[in-house]
Amino acid sequence: MASPLTNTARSNAPICILWLCGAILLGFSQMTCAQTGTTELIRGESKDVLVPVLVLDKKRTDQIRSMGPGLHSLDARELTNVEVSDLTAKDFHIFDDGKEQKIERLTLQPDSLIGFTAAGIGKWVAPDPADSGLGLFTGPPHWVAYLIAYAQPPSAKGSCHQIAVKVDRPDSLVYARAGYCNWGNSAADPLAGTELEDQIASILNSGARSRVSLPLTTFSSFRDTDDVVTNVVLGFPENSWRAFNCDKPPTMEVLGIAYAKDKTVAARFSDLENLGSLSFVGETIPNLAPRTPGHCIDYVLPYQYETQIKLAPGEYTLRVAFKDGKKFGRAETAFVVPTFDKKRLAISDVTLSRRYRKVSSGPQDDTTVLPGAYVPLVSKGFEVTPTADARFKKSEPFDFYFEVYAPQPEHPVATIEAHLRIQDAKTGEVVKDLQPVDAAPYAKLGDPIIPVGGAIDISGLPSGSYRLEVQATDSAGNATTWRAADFTIE
């Protein structure tokens, strides 16, 4: 039977870390296996520009860097006084194309994850330490950053502007994004208008054979009570390790374009991940763990990229291109965005997974993030990592995730159940009919979106092609359509 996600050995919080020339470099990041906290972005929303800013104490930073390359025992507690966290709006000056702007508001962003921070809003997923064979590690603190808002000056759509941030505090190192472009989807498409975009677009439109296989999948979920969001999951080649020159770190770039049925561009996204050093929203931070010259070794590469796009109901084709300097690849898939009626019982697509992790209660469960940011798939305190590769071995975990939308009636219905079954993809025969899952334990008071995650034992099924189907019903007699996810057992 289907079982809910439980706190097993697989639910330990994954941490992506980086070993450089024998010294451990701080490595919690947006490239972790599950993104947590508020995503640090810059965007023009409601005529505001939001600028995340990190301020470090230069004297303390220099002191740590002077400790020498054998900095293996650096404890996170020693780094808690590196950032400057007692500033107010009066201490900041922000300039847009050289003209100082009035700061509308400043908020603290605690537990900001400093690491391989990408340029876009997606999530780069890397192996857990257990998966990559890594042993002991030293983790960084979750530093406090600032989020500054100012009114966006008038500008033409598509124009780009420079940002400069100054702080009235001696011996401070200030890190903030250097600019922004006035695009409606700039946060989700940071490569738009750049030379990198042209390079990736040439791969996307090229007739050349893809050098690597890139599994690609999409599925719908509910971002909020009025929205259906399309989740995109792209798998990368299975090369978990790479040695590279410390002074010339590699980058990974992704570009995706969704085409409507009439061949017009309906949405697009892009992202860039600089893999060689600590950074804050794309701005490089000096390595606090000193390194010796030469090639960096034992570097863990991300194996998957996830993002979310908004599309109107309809039929689409998604084309995605990937480049990491040495390799490139393309992938394409067709999908349908379903119609969503918020007055009726509804169900999202079902996605499959091999892994999940326990997340802290509070903001993570409430998915408190900036507008447009990636919303993780969390069910009963566990975040599910969807997989782009639906080929499973009998010994592997087989997890699932979907969402039920239950409109709030004047008199709540007594029961909502989820029904799951596995069919033989060739014959249509139901080979596993699971007991109904009561949705009540997964629901949150006042929230019509019910995220359901769990696991199924597939070890007894023979090798072959299958389909997992899910449907929701309530005690008032309402039923959703069946949603399905195809998979194979090898």
Beta strands in 59-118 (DSSP E): 92-96, 99-101, 103-112
Phi/psi at 321 (5° precision): -120, 145
Distance CA 261, CA 256 (A): 16
Listed residue (365, 351, 350, 450) closest to 405, CA to CA: 450
Residue 263 Ramachandran class (φ > 0 left, ψ -120 to 50 alpha, else beta): left
| 490 residues of the chain, pLDDT tens digit each | 455 544 333 322 222 222 222 222 222 222 222 222 233 333 334 478 888 888 989 988 887 767 655 444 444 455 557 889 899 999 999 999 999 999 999 988 765 544 444 667 788 887 765 444 443 333 444 677 888 999 989 988 767 788 999 999 999 999 887 777 776 556 677 777 677 778 788 888 776 667 678 899 999 999 776 778 999 999 987 765 566 665 566 678 899 999 999 999 999 888 887 665 555 665 556 656 555 444 454 456 778 999 999 899 999 999 999 887 777 888 999 999 999 888 899 999 999 999 888 876 543 333 334 445 678 899 999 999 999 999 999 999 999 999 999 987 666 667 999 999 999 999 999 999 999 999 999 998 888 999 999 999 999 999 999 999 999 999 989 999 999 999 999 9
* Contact between residue 355 and residue 32 where contact means Cβ atoms under 8 Å apart: no
Distance CA 72, CA 136 (A): 10
Sort strands 328-337 and 314-323 into parallel, antiparallel or unpaired.
Answer: antiparallel
Across 308-328, b (16+ Cβ under 10 Å) vs e yields: bbebeeeebebbbbbbbeeeb
Residues with Cβ within 8 Å of 59's Cβ and at least 6 positions away in sequence, in order, are 171
Distance CA 253, CA 271 (A): 6
What integer pLDDT is reported at residue 126 of this predicted model? Answer: 76
* Contact between residue 33 and residue 14 where contact means Cβ atoms under 8 Å apart: yes
Distance CA 472, CA 265 (A): 33
Listed residue (341, 137, 72) closest to 226, CA to CA: 341
Helix (H) or strand (E) holding 131, with range, is helix 129-132
Structure tokens at 272: 């860039």
Say how many C-beta atoms besides its own lie within 10 A of residue 13's C-beta. Answer: 14
pTM of the model: 0.73
**Three-state DSSP class for 198?**
helix
Distance CA 403, CA 347 (A): 6
* Contact between residue 303 and residue 235 where contact means Cβ atoms under 8 Å apart: yes
Beta bridge partners, 269, equal: 256
From the number of C-beta atoms within 10 Å of its C-beta (0-12, 13-18, 19+), residue 51 rates as: buried
What integer pLDDT is reported at residue 199 of this predicted model? Answer: 79
What integer pLDDT is reported at residue 289 of this predicted model? Answer: 54
Listed residue (17, 21, 19) closest to 291, CA to CA: 21
Distance CA 450, CA 469 (A): 17
Span between the terminal Cα atoms of the chain, in Å: 21
Q: Is the dihedral of CA 448, 451, 456, 462 positive or negative?
A: positive
**Cα 256 to Cα 79, 118, 122, 259, 312, distances in angstroms:** 38, 16, 12, 10, 17
Listed residue (216, 218, 339, 314) closest to 260, CA to CA: 314
* Contact between residue 255 and residue 201 where contact means Cβ atoms under 8 Å apart: yes
Listed residue (370, 396, 400, 365) closest to 385, CA to CA: 400
Structure tokens at 2: 């289907």
Q: What angle do CA 355, 374, 322 make, to 5 degrees?
A: 75
Beta bridge partners, 229, equal: 221
Listed residue (337, 354, 322) closest to 453, CA to CA: 354
Residues with Cβ within 8 Å of 86's Cβ and at least 6 positions away in sequence, in order, are none
Say how many C-beta atoms besides its own lie within 10 A of residue 432's C-beta. Answer: 18
- Give me the DSSP letters along 303-330: -EEEEEE---SEEEEEEEEEE-SS-EEE
Distance CA 234, CA 254 (A): 9
Listed residue (311, 76, 280) closest to 177, CA to CA: 280
